[in-house]
Amino acid sequence: MSKRYLILPDVQAPYEDRKAVRAFIRFLGDYQPDELVCIGDLVDYPSPSRWNKGQAGEYIGSVRADSDHAKRRVLAPIREVYDGPFKFIEGNHDERPRVYLAKYAPALSEYDEEFQVENLLDFDSFGVERLGDFYDFAPGWTMTHGHLGGIRMTQTPGGSALSAAKNRFQKSIVMGHTHRLGVSYHTYGYGGKVTKTLTGVEVGNLMSMRAATYLKRATANWQQGFCILHVDGAYVRPEIVPILNRKFHVGGITYEV
C-alpha cells in the first residue's frame, strides 16, 4: 500500500518566513498526507547557541519565548488543519537548550528533562511523536536531520545527502540541515545491468534569510521549499517542491506565498 510523506523542512523559528510557513500549512490542509515529518530545526534557539557564548546575544531572547513562538506560529496552526500522524526528528538547533545546560550548568543536570525539545514544545498536547536520530521509513531508505553520522557538507543541493548515502550509510538518505533543495542519484552495476541506485534528497527550508541576523545580510546558497515522498514498499519517489517567486505548484494547484 502506498503512502505519502510530507516533510516539514528547517523552519528555525523565530527566523521563519511566516508567509512561507502559512502557505505550507495551507497546502498541508489540502493535501492531507499519510504522515507529516518535521526533519528538525523547528526552532533556532539562538540565545544558547555556541556562536552567542559570551556575546550580547546570549542574554537577549528566551528559550521559553522561542518555544512559545514555535507552538503558536507552527504547531498549533498545523493541528488546526491536520490531525494525522505527526513525527519529529531532532535537529542541532532543537538540541541547543539541553546541550547548553549540560555544558555550562552541569550542577543543574537534574532539570535536563525540562530542556528536552519534546517538553519545551509540549509534544504531548500537540500529538507529536519524537523519533530517533534516524528514521528508516522504507527498505533501503533512512531520514535524518543531517548533523549526525559524519555527513560532509557540499554546496551542491542533494550532494551532501548523496555523499552520505554512498560513503556512510550505503542506503538512500533524506535530510535537512543544509537548507538546500535537491535530489541526486548514483547508479551501480555491471554489463549494462543496474544493481543498485542510491538517492540523496535535501529538503530545503522555510526560513527568512533577512530575519536570520547571524547571516549579517548575506545571501546563502539556500533554497526555500519542501519535499513529498511517495512510498510503495521499497519504491520511493521524492518530489521536491521549490518556492520560487513567492509561489509553489503541486498537483495542478499554485499556492501563493
Give the residue-averaged pLDDT of 58-80.
88
Cβ neighbours of residue 195 closer than 8 Å, sequence gap 6 or more: 188, 189
Cis omega (within 30 of 0) for bond into 77: no
Residue 66 lies in a domain: yes
Give the residue-averaged pLDDT of 34-46.
96
Tell me what pLDDT residue 59 has: 47
Place of cell 539562538: 46
Number of neighbouring beta carbons within 10 Å of residue 43: 27
Tell me what pLDDT residue 32 has: 98
* Contact call for residues 204 and 227 (beta carbons, < 8 A): yes
In angstroms, the CA 12 to CA 14 distance is 6
Tell me what pLDDT residue 48 has: 57
In angstroms, the CA 37 to CA 251 distance is 20
Tell me what pLDDT residue 111 has: 67
Range of the domain at 15: 3-131+205-256
46 strand-pairing partners: none
Q: Is the pLDDT of residue 58 over 60?
A: no
* Contact call for residues 49 and 96 (beta carbons, < 8 A): yes
For residue range 123-179, list pLDDT tens digits in order: 999 999 999 999 999 999 999 999 999 999 999 999 999 999 999 999 999 999 999
Residue 119 lies in a domain: yes
Residue 153 lies in a domain: no
* Per-residue DSSP letter, 44: -
Residue 172 lies in a domain: no
pTM: 0.93
Q: In the predicted model, what is the mean pLDDT of the chain?
A: 92
Q: Is the pLDDT of residue 60 over 60?
A: no
Residue 182 lies in a domain: no
Domain of 67, CATH number, reads 3.60.21.40
Residue 176 lies in a domain: no
Torsion-angle region of 211 (φ positive above 0: left; ψ -120 to 50: alpha; else: beta): alpha
Measure Cα distances from 234 to 8, 17, 46, 139, 198 in Å.
22, 34, 39, 5, 12
Domain count along the chain: 1
Residue 53 lies in a domain: yes
Query: Beta strand 181-190 with 172-175: parallel, antiparallel or unpaired?
Result: unpaired
